[in-house]
Amino acid sequence: MELDTIKLCCAKCGFTIEQYSATELAEVPRKAKRYKYLLQKSSICPACLASGRLKEVRVTRESATAPPGGPVQPSAAAPVAHERHPEAPTPMLDALERGRWPSHVTELRQTRYPLQMYEQSLQRRTTQWDYGGYVSLPGVAAGVLVRASARPEITKGSNFLRIMDPCGNFFKTDKLRRLCEIAEKYAYGMLHLLSTGGDLEMLGIPTENLRPAVAEIMAIGFDVGSTGDDYRTSEECIGPAQCDLALYDTLGFREAWYKRFLDDVQYPRFPHKVKCKFAGCPNDCVRGGQKSDFFVCGVFRDLPAIDQSRVKTWVDQGGDITTVCTRCPGGCLSFNNGDGLRIDGDSCLRCMYCVNKVPGVRPGGDRGVAILVGGKMRGKFGPMLGKVVVPFLKAQPPDYKEVFDLLERMTEVYDEHARKKERVGDFLLRIGLSEFLRLAGVPVSARVVSQPRINLYYHWEPEEIKDERTAVQEVGPPQAGV
**Can you spell out the DSSP letters for 409-451?**
HHHHHHHHHSPTT--HHHHHHHH-HHHHHHHHTPPP-TT--SS
**Final residue in a domain of this structure, among 64, 87, 103:** 64
- Residue 480 has a pLDDT of 45
Phi, psi of 55, rounded to the nearest 5 degrees: -105, 150
Strand-strand pairing, 276-279 and 294-300: parallel
CA distances from 347 to 331, 343, 351, 362 (A): 7, 8, 11, 17
- Residue 456 has a pLDDT of 53
Both 321 and 269 in a single domain? no
Report the alpha-carbon distance of residue 290 to residue 185 in Å, rounded.
37
Provide the CATH number for the domain around residue 351.
3.30.70.20
Both 117 and 168 in a single domain? yes
Provide the CATH number for the domain around residue 140.
3.30.70.2500
CB 428 within 8 A of CB 373: yes
For the stretch 76-88, what's the b/e string if a residue is b when 16 or more beta carbons lie within 10 angstroms of its beta carbon?
eebeeebeeeeee
What SS3 class is residue 3? strand
> Length of the chain, please?
482
Both 133 and 174 in a single domain? yes
Peptide bond into 398 cis (omega under 30): yes
CB 222 within 8 A of CB 172: no
Both 158 and 283 in a single domain? no
Q: Is residue 229 part of a domain?
A: no
Both 390 and 241 in a single domain? yes
Both 274 and 377 in a single domain? yes
**Final residue in a domain of this structure, among 189, 219, 249:** 219
CB 275 within 8 A of CB 292: yes
Alpha-helical runs (H) found in 59-101: 61-64, 91-97
**Final residue in a domain of this structure, among 340, 362, 384:** 362
Give this prediction's pTM: 0.79
Report the alpha-carbon distance of residue 282 to residue 344 in Å, rounded.
19
Phi, psi of 291, rounded to the nearest 5 degrees: -125, 0
Both 399 and 259 in a single domain? yes
Range of the domain at 397: 235-301+366-440
Chain centre to alpha carbon of residue 202:
18
Q: Is residue 245 part of a domain?
A: yes
Report the alpha-carbon distance of residue 445 to residue 389 in Å, rounded.
8
Provide the CATH number for the domain around residue 276.
3.30.413.10
- Residue 61 has a pLDDT of 62
- Residue 41 has a pLDDT of 74
Q: What is the pLDDT along the chain (482 residues), one digit of tens a residue?
A: 456 788 888 888 888 878 888 888 888 777 787 788 778 777 767 667 677 788 888 887 655 443 333 333 444 455 688 888 888 899 999 999 998 899 999 999 999 999 999 999 999 999 999 877 777 777 777 778 888 888 989 998 888 888 888 888 889 999 999 999 999 999 999 998 877 777 889 999 988 888 899 999 999 999 887 788 889 888 899 999 999 999 999 999 999 999 999 888 888 889 999 999 999 999 999 999 999 999 999 999 999 999 999 999 999 999 999 999 999 999 999 998 888 999 998 889 999 999 999 999 999 999 999 999 999 988 788 899 999 999 999 999 999 999 999 999 999 999 999 999 899 999 999 999 889 999 999 988 776 766 555 555 556 667 766 655 554 444 444 444 43
- Residue 6 has a pLDDT of 87
Q: Is residue 274 part of a domain?
A: yes
Both 279 and 416 in a single domain? yes
For the stretch 352-375, what's the b/e string if a residue is b when 16 or more beta carbons lie within 10 angstroms of its beta carbon?
bbbbebbebbbbbeebbbbbbbbb
Both 123 and 11 in a single domain? no
Q: Is residue 323 part of a domain?
A: yes
Both 385 and 415 in a single domain? yes
With left for phi above 0 and alpha for psi between -120 and 50, is residue 221 left, alpha or beta?
Answer: left
CA distances from 286 to 77, 195, 236, 471 (A): 39, 11, 7, 56
- Which of 116, 143, 127, 140 minimizes the C-alpha distance to 42? 143
Q: Is residue 449 part of a domain?
A: no
Total domains, the chain: 4
What SS3 class is residue 215? helix
What SS3 class is residue 322? helix
Secondary structure letter of residue 233 according to DSSP: P
Q: Is residue 446 part of a domain?
A: no
Report the alpha-carbon distance of residue 324 to residue 304 in Å, rounded.
15
CA distances from 236 to 263, 360, 374, 455 (A): 19, 26, 17, 34
For the stretch 25-55, what's the b/e string if a residue is b when 16 or more beta carbons lie within 10 angstroms of its beta carbon?
beeeeebebbbebbeebebbbbbeeeeeebe
- Residue 58 has a pLDDT of 85
Q: Is residue 455 part of a domain?
A: no
Q: Is residue 44 part of a domain?
A: yes
- Residue 49 has a pLDDT of 64
- Residue 83 has a pLDDT of 85
Burial class (CB in 10 A: 0-12, 13-18, 19+), 114: buried
CA distances from 321 to 73, 148, 308, 310, 388 (A): 71, 54, 13, 13, 31
Both 403 and 284 in a single domain? yes
Both 277 and 374 in a single domain? yes
- Which of 137, 206, 194, 136 minimizes the C-alpha distance to 162? 194
